[in-house]
Amino acid sequence: MGTLTVQTLQAPSSGANANTILVPSGQTVHAAGSVVQTQVHSWTTATTNTSSSFADVTGSSFSFTPKFATSDLMLHSSVSYNVYSGSSYSYAGGIVRFNIDGSTPDYNGQAYEIYFEGNGLSAGMNAHNRVNKTIKIAASNTNAKTIKLECVKYANTTGIIISGGTYYTST
């Protein structure tokens, strides 16, 4: 094997594949800083957590196998949620975190990344919204990784609901 050094690759400007550089099936191009692979996972299954312990977000789990150990994985979630509390509390909150093979790299020990407060409320708090989160982690190897989300309510919040049924899609 040798090294081919070129200044510029240029596709033909006419014909069936005009202005297209083709890479044959079974071959790959690996350029540092480029997107090598993508995967999108969506679900509509509702998860309700009224516990002070993290619970798996039903339907969020999927497997991903990086092509290269040197890759960075960019994980993005867009999750519909509802946090609510009973009449004696004027706040409601919680957190949604990534879990990658048992590791939670975006969790800092706090449970109120999502938080709403209404001073002087006597009827409790009920907030619906969407939380978006992006994290970057090193692939480290080419082993399949199980990626999922977990959620927990904050303090005296009554509960947190993720993807309130078929009304909302989360990714």
pLDDT, tens digit, for every residue of 63-90? 999 999 999 999 999 999 999 998 788 8
CA dist 30 → 5, 23, 87, 121, 139 (Å): 15, 11, 57, 57, 15
Pairing of strands 62-64, 55-56: unpaired
Residue 168: which pLDDT band, with cuts at 50, 70 and 90?
A: confident
Mean pLDDT, residues 40-46 taken together: 94
Residue 35: which pLDDT band, with cuts at 50, 70 and 90?
A: confident
Can you give the pLDDT at residue 111? 85
Mean pLDDT, residues 24-31 taken together: 80
For residues 29 and 137, the model is more confident at 137
Mean pLDDT, residues 116-137 taken together: 87
Does residue 41 surpass a pLDDT of 80?
yes
pLDDT above 90 covers what percent of the chain?
60
Residue 34: which pLDDT band, with cuts at 50, 70 and 90?
A: confident
Is residue 158 within 8 Å of residue 94, measured between CB atoms?
Answer: no
Does residue 19 surpass a pLDDT of 80?
yes
Could you give the CA distance from residue 111 to residue 92 in angstroms, rounded to a whole number? Answer: 11
Could you give the CA distance from residue 143 to residue 64 in angstroms, rounded to a whole number? Answer: 8
Can you give the pLDDT at residue 90? 85
Output the pTM of the full model.
0.83
Does residue 106 surpass a pLDDT of 90?
yes
Could you give the CA distance from residue 97 to residue 87 in angstroms, rounded to a whole number? Answer: 27
